[in-house]
Amino acid sequence: MIDRLALGVDGLKNLDGPQPGVVMNSSEDLIARACSGDQEAYRLLFERHARPVLGFLYNLVGRRDVAEELTQETFVRAYRSLSEFRNQAKFSTWLFGIARNVSREWSRSKEGRDPGRVTQIDLISTPVASESPAEELLGKELHGLIESALQLLDEERRAVFALKVFQQRSYQEIVDITGFSLAKVKIELHRARAEMRQHLRPYLETKI
């Protein structure tokens, strides 16, 4: 029942007037319920936010197994600190902030500092809408290149780039997530784009 209500939220977004099911499962309501120990409410929050958090962490660490482990850690930490969450920020922004801290800790760990880890990037198959097998192959190659290039960026730069380009976060949200100044966000993003362009140049020259 609750699942159906949650799944129905998107479909009801455009309807006018308050929708009981939506109100029941608004993020604020779910957070309040989760704070009071309602695990089902927290599961619904997890279902809503797990995919982008996993994607962001995968952008940061480049390994699916590690990204999943860090996603789990992120949601456990978020649960522990749920009572400290203030509704001034978006829940997803707050969650991404935790995810970034978790990933930084991992980066400083022995496993995260392994210099060979860049070569361990999982080249996750990406569904590519292409017209021919050759294009599909090119698309897969490109995705591998993007993932490799991303891992070559400095950690802060990679976080800013991933948040803007892959997670479509606004500059202000990136400021909130990373704690950087707005100026630093702009500079890091500009430099990240330039570095990515360098790494992807052979491909970009054929496409652009």
Partner 1 sequence: MKCEECQPRIEEYLDRELNESAGHAVRKHLDNCVSCATVARDLEAEHAIYASYEPDLNISPELWAGVKARIVEDRVGSPSARVQSVWSVLKTTFEAPRISGWATAALVFLAIGSTAIFMKYTQSGTQPPTPQNTNVVENKPVQVPAMPITNSPVGVNDTSETSKGSGSKAQRKLVVARNNGAEKVRPAVGPRTPYQLVREAEQKYLAAIAMLSRNANRKRSQMDPATLARLDQAINSIDRTIAGTRQAVRQHPDDPVAVQYMLSAYARKVDVLREIAAN
Using CB under 8 A, list all residues that contact partner 1. Answer: 37, 39, 42-43, 46-47, 50-51, 54-55, 58, 64, 67-68, 71-72, 75-76, 79-80, 124-128, 139, 142-143, 146-147, 164-166, 170-171, 186, 189-190, 193, 196-197, 200, 203-204, 207-208
| 19/204 with CB nearer partner 1 | 204
Nearer to partner 1, 15 or 134 (CB): 134
Shortest gap between Cβ of 20 and partner 1 (angstroms)? Answer: 26
- Cα separation values, 4 from 10, 12, 21, 25, 69, Å: 11, 12, 9, 11, 28
Output the smallest distance, CB 79 to partner 1, in A.
5
Q: Name which of 18 and 127 has its Cβ closer to partner 1.
A: 127
- Cβ of residue 55: shortest distance to partner 1, in angstroms? 6
Residue type, 27: S
Residue nearer to partner 1 on the CB measure, 28 or 65: 65
| Residue 123 falls in which region: left (phi positive, over 0), alpha (psi -120 to 50) or beta | beta
Cα dist from 90 to 10, 100, 128, 172, whole Å: 17, 16, 32, 12
Minimum separation from the CB atom of position 96 to partner 1 (A) = 16
Minimum CB separation from partner 1 for residue 14, in Å?
22
Q: Which residue lies nearer to partner 1 by CB, 9 or 19?
A: 9
3-class DSSP state of 169:
coil
Secondary structure (3-state) at 200: helix
Task: Strands of 21-68 (E only): list them.
Answer: none
**Smaller CB separation from partner 1, 19 or 32:** 32
End-to-end CA separation in angstroms for the chain: 49
Asked if residue 178 lies in contact with residue 154, where contact means CB atoms within 8 angstroms, the answer is no
Closest separation between CB of residue 87 and partner 1, Å?
22
| Structure-token match 């936010």, residue found | 49
